[in-house]
Chain A
């Protein structure tokens, strides 16, 4: 039986959005389990992506009231964040063009569907890989520049994304990358339902300290430290096809892995650091010689396994700045410009 969120095809929503077709969610589609995606056409004939909240899963849960409440709170929190992003002109964040609610008559599950409308992307960054799953160097570096910019935009408003991963970096007009899906973001001072979870975002990309359940009471260290790691992991993804966490899982002996370890993170850290060193050494072998040292140094700083030591060396000792990604915007921009051929190698001084 179809749910309300699956019955939007052919409808016209407030704001003049005509729902054209349901998009079978691809692995590259943004959105979580509790949403449906649609292709919509706007009043000015522009195409867009609609994310419809699906309450049906929550209604089937053992505690429907609580699940429904959590879902609604999450939706409201994400919508409010998107409004803030839009209001602050965050151009490297996929912001909602519109949002609203529609009532479906005769629907079995109440018929109320809340939705968000986004600019339509070409796909996520994975769609830009060639047939051998490799990314063009200039594209990767430019995308990283855009992702770093997006993260700085969020951080400047006290928002930590917590779920930056390949499927959440969307590509527009073949070259513009933006960060999507604030569904697992957190804001300093606010408390969405998922803020109680140790790993707010996708654990497959999460930093090791969270997988070992080390919860630092310091918001910056826990949340911004996580975002810094996720940016470093994106660097690793562009050049290897896997995120840092999967590579740590590969290089860690299973007895030291987060699924088996019963001790503290401090005690396992030497082994995590050793595995991290091997990952970075392997990364070195595949990087373009022109970029190698700079990229390796960026990965070492951002994915440093000890969150207390993570971040740019010049900012590390200033608590407010420790996880600032501003310097990385310039560094990725410089690398991207050189890879794009727009920077004279002799004249271009590295930031």
Chain B
């Protein structure tokens, strides 16, 4: 049986993208009052006059350089246009500066944040490039952070950790580095370290993005955040604009939801959605799935890189391939995001009935999580569905079973049932499925129990077992009205399988 929709808990742990993308998404602007403009009117006017009088490449180059430094791009458009003309011979650098002036003056269309996070080069080649730059720039904390991300994306946890430690040692309160470090330590199952890192920094008390991360990671580490009161003030005092406090409001809303303060949670989620990030949007859509009164404007899904939220939206309406596509993009956006690979491979197996596609998704996830039992379980199921039973069995026995993860353990027992059925050992198969269902019920994992039961019925239909029609009818009665899209998909397929089997038995 496949495993994928782990939707019980979600915290707003920072996304971790490369520095250029994070900047382009506008998540690194610094809160606080805007600085005073640089008083340099006379310097600029002199250069503007010189350009007007001389109309030479030299005076144009001087003016466009000044425009970029002083934020006067609008006043240097003519000079920049002059410099980008083919017949004007200037250095490549001068031409590039002129192009930047035109871009910032709105004369050229800026490139949008790419919706496809796929890199042209492999992770290994990006690592080579970053290491080569770091050889010359050993104090570049941004590069160390990007390098750490590349290592994490291919499962080299020790290297990722070392690179991040270097980055963290080089900065005081830099948001990009600290939030990335938090994401890494959570990824490496060390939320306490992530929390320690943040709570020791002064910037965490001043920067709402860091405060949000501290509150979220404290929750993962099962600690109490000491910044909740301060965070509440940051929002109520309106010292920051809604974009700056979107994730902070979302973190507080999630806490309120956990504490059962419905009204507060709704109010804070509403605040988080005024100008959301893709992460706060995903958090709100997650909350809306389990909590009435949180409304998410569908137009927000058009925001860049809202892959997770879109995947869930398509999941809800059983648009399996569209949802899988969003999971694929989500994995490329955050290669270490286990949930993306789990959810995508699950939908490929259960919704799209495409085990080959599931295998592809699992393998993407395994690069960063090579021993994740949930992903390996889905790979085993994919292999069984493709008829590669020996390979599936070998892989199944190699899985290190987590002691404390009841969900994975239960699912693995059910998968053993699937394997037994496909080996022709129906009694053992039924027994294992029954064990899994009982264990799931005992652990309050009712969704898992339902899915396991439906999988068992599928195998019984497939095996042509007598009495399966009654079992199926019972399942349809019991679960036909559940809201879960995957349950309904499975029920529909069971009905089809059963009808097809019945038809086949009538016309052998």
Contacts and interface: CB of A to CB of B under 8 A. Distances in A.
B38 A199 contact: yes
Interface stretch (B25-33, B152-160, B312-320, B472-480): B25-33
A255 B94 contact: no
Nearest to A285: B92
B65 interface: yes
Given A204-B40, A258-B38, A268-B30, A24 B58 contact: no
Interface in A208-224: 211-213
Contacts of B176: 270-271
B391 interface: no
B42 A32 contact: yes
Interface residues of A, number: 60
Contact of B28 (A24, A26, A271): A271
A258 B57 CA distance: 27
Nearest to A57: B42
Contacts of B35: 212-213, 258-262
Contact of A242 (B38, B65, B139, B142): B65
Interface centre among A126, A213, A246, A266 (most CB of B within 10 A): A246
Given A199-B40, A202-B40, A211-B38, A241 B91 contact: yes
A344 interface: no
Contacts, number: 178
Interface string B88-114: 011111101100100010000000000
A245 B69 contact: yes
Given A133-B58, A242-B61, A250-B100, A273 B137 contact: yes
A175 interface: no
By size class, the interface of chain B is 35 or more
A229 to B, nearest CB: 14
Contacts of A257: 71
Contacts of A270: 140-142, 170-171, 174, 176-177
Interface of B (DSSP majority class): helix
A129 interface: yes
Contacts of A281: 133
B43 A267 contact: no
Contact of A263 (B30, B94, B137): B30
B91 A132 contact: yes
A201 to B, nearest CB: 9
A246 B62 CA distance: 10
Contact of A203 (B43, B62, B93, B207): B43
A131 interface: yes
Given A242-B94, A249-B68, A255-B23, A133 B40 contact: no
B496 interface: no
A150 interface: no
A219 to B, nearest CB: 22
B405 interface: no
A351 B64 CA distance: 36
B30 A267 contact: yes
B70 interface: yes
A268 to B, nearest CB: 7
A264 B51 CA distance: 35
A255 B96 contact: no
B203 A274 contact: no
A213 B39 CA distance: 12
Nearest to A31: B46
Interface in A12-31: 24-28
A133 B61 contact: yes
A254 interface: yes
B142 A271 contact: yes
B482 interface: no
Nearest to B28: A255
Contacts of A126: 58, 62
A76 interface: no
13 contacts: A27-B50, A126-B58, A133-B58, A211-B69, A240-B94, A246-B64, A250-B68, A255-B23, A255-B28, A258-B35, A270-B141, A271-B23, A273-B137
Interface of A: 24-28, 32-33, 126, 129, 131-134, 166-167, 197, 199, 202-204, 211-213, 240-243, 245-247, 249-250, 253-264, 266-271, 273-274, 277, 280-282, 286, 300, 306, 309
